[in-house]
Amino acid sequence: MSVHVVWFKRDLRAADHPPLSAAAARGAVLPLYIAEPAYWQLPDTSGRQWQATAEALRDLREDLARCGQPLVVRQGDAVAVLEAIRLRHGIAALWSHELRWARTVRLLNPKGFLGLALTHPLAWALLALALAPGALTIGALALVLAARLLLAQGVDAALGVPGGWRRWAWLPLRDLFSAAVWAAAFWPGQVVWGEHRYRLGADGRMVETPRAP
């Protein structure tokens, strides 16, 4: 059975949540939260922040339960979790705030968001290899992949998360996906939620636009 996944990331509430409402209007819904070990190992995260997130998740679980919809919580790499869900359920649509959130962060902190370019070394290494193929760029790409693997192994060991090549193989795809979201945040576009269409301007602000008759 196909299922519409609503991926809760930072907006952990059921009320006034357009993607959840739109997904529910289209069929079966799977509310999902993914606890990503790599994210919670970042220098700007803390135990106190996780405690606040855990409390928000408990409230979200209760609110969804009152609607007869359980919250699914998974721990691990986002790409691997979503692929497992796809194989099990089949994903008709993936509703996520990720791009809109990225555009919002760019609006609130343009310099900081630009600095996030440093967190996407794989994308830059592949771009360098495409523009200037050679031993130097091949070595740089190999170094980036090796560093990513060592980081994943260290995080998994610290958190007691089962690792293995089957899971780690997804890491490059996830990193490239994150880089694509970061890059797309600089490009104005449109977002459709149910019957509503929003235009995203260069400043990241959302303006509802009427549908063509």
Tell me the average pLDDT across 7-28.
76
User: In the predicted model, what is the mean pLDDT of residues 120-140?
Assistant: 94
Please write the tens of the pLDDT for every residue from 86-104. 656 554 444 344 666 676 6
Q: How far is CA 46 from CA 39, 143, 163, in A?
A: 10, 29, 23
More confident residue, 182 or 165: 182
Percent of the chain with pLDDT over 70: 69
For residues 39 and 119, what is the distance between their CA atoms, to the nearest angstrom? 12
pTM above 0.75, yes or no: no
Q: Is the per-residue pLDDT at 176 higher than 90?
A: no
Residue 15 in domain: yes
Rounded to the nearest integer, the mean pLDDT of the chain is 75
Residue 104 within any structural domain of the chain: no
The verdict on residue 183 lying in a domain is: no
Measured between alpha carbons, how far is residue 119 from residues 42, 116, 148, 183 in Å? 11, 5, 11, 12
- Domain assignment present for residue 170? The answer is no
Cα gap 106→202, rounded to integer Å: 10
Assess whether pLDDT exceeds 90 at residue 135.
yes
More confident site: 146 or 46: 146
Q: Is the pLDDT of residue 109 over 80?
A: no
Helix (H, G, I), strand (E, B) or coil at 148: helix
Residue 105 lies in a domain: no
d(CA 8, CA 26): 18
Position 44 in a domain: yes
Print burial letters for 36-72: b (CB count within 10 Å at least 16), e (below 16): bbbebeeeeeeeeeeeebeebbeebbebbeeeebebb
Q: Is residue 26 part of a domain?
A: yes
Is position 92 within any domain? yes
**Could you tell me the residue range of the domain that residue 11 belongs to?**
1-96
The better pLDDT of the pair 18, 203 is held by 18
**Domain containing 16 — which CATH number?**
3.40.50.620
More reliable by pLDDT, 111 or 77? 111
Task: Tell me the pLDDT band of 133, cut-offs 50, 70 and 90.
Answer: very high
Count of domains observed in the chain? 1
pLDDT in tens, 179-211: 888 888 787 655 554 455 566 555 555 566 665
- DSSP symbols for 170-190: THHHHHHHHHHHHHHTTS-EE
pLDDT at 100: 63
Exposed/middle/buried for residue 144 (C-beta within 10 Å: 0-12, 13-18, 19+): buried
